Structure 1
Amino acid sequence: MRFVKNIENDYCAATLFSANNKYIIKFEAGNLEQIYKVSELDVSGEDDVEEMLGDTFMKKVMQRFQEMHEDFDEILDSID
């Protein structure tokens, strides 16, 4: 996997990678990660990938992080 660049945004850490003819977008918030893969054939380049990550999508990513965090807390609480 090859590092392409960090993607600047106001929400979380986001990194763009390239591997096996795919762009891999990795979002990180605390101890959680979300990874999305996009075929290089579906976009014309890195700029298209960044364009996809608009405000609406990023808010959904953050909502998923919140849901993931709640699910994980629930699991941790159940083992106490």
Structure 2
Amino acid sequence: MRFVQDIPHPQFRIGLYAWNGKYIVKIEAGPYEQTYKISEMDISDPESVPTMLDAPFLTKVAQRFQQMDSDWQETGERNDVF
């Protein structure tokens, strides 16, 4: 996997990578990660990827991270791990 660029954001660590004919957007928050794969055929320029990461999209990403954390906490409690 080839690193293309970091995409600055105050809340998340966002990286853009290229691998196997796809651009991969990795968004990290704490111990959690969301990954989005985009075919290189669908986007002519990797510089257009950051424009896709608009406020409505990142709001949903934040909500998904909250849900991931809730799910993780619940399974830990349910299985007496936490």
Q: Is the shorter-chain TM-score for this pair beyond 0.5, marking a shared fold?
A: yes
SS of equivalent to 1:5: strand
Matched with 1:8 is 8
Report the Cα offset of residue 42 of structure 1.
0.7
* Count of aligned pairs: 80
Superposed CA RMSD in Å reads: 0.8
| Unaligned residue ranges in structure 1 (runs of 5+) | none
With normalisation by structure 1, the TM-score equals 0.94
Name which structure has the greater RCO, CA cutoff 8 Å, separation 6+. 1
1:54-80, Cα deviation, whole Å (9 max, x unpaired) = 111111111100000000000001111
Following TM superposition, where does structure 1 have runs of at least 4 consecutive aligned residues deviating by more than 6 angstroms? Answer: none
With normalisation by structure 2, the TM-score equals 0.92
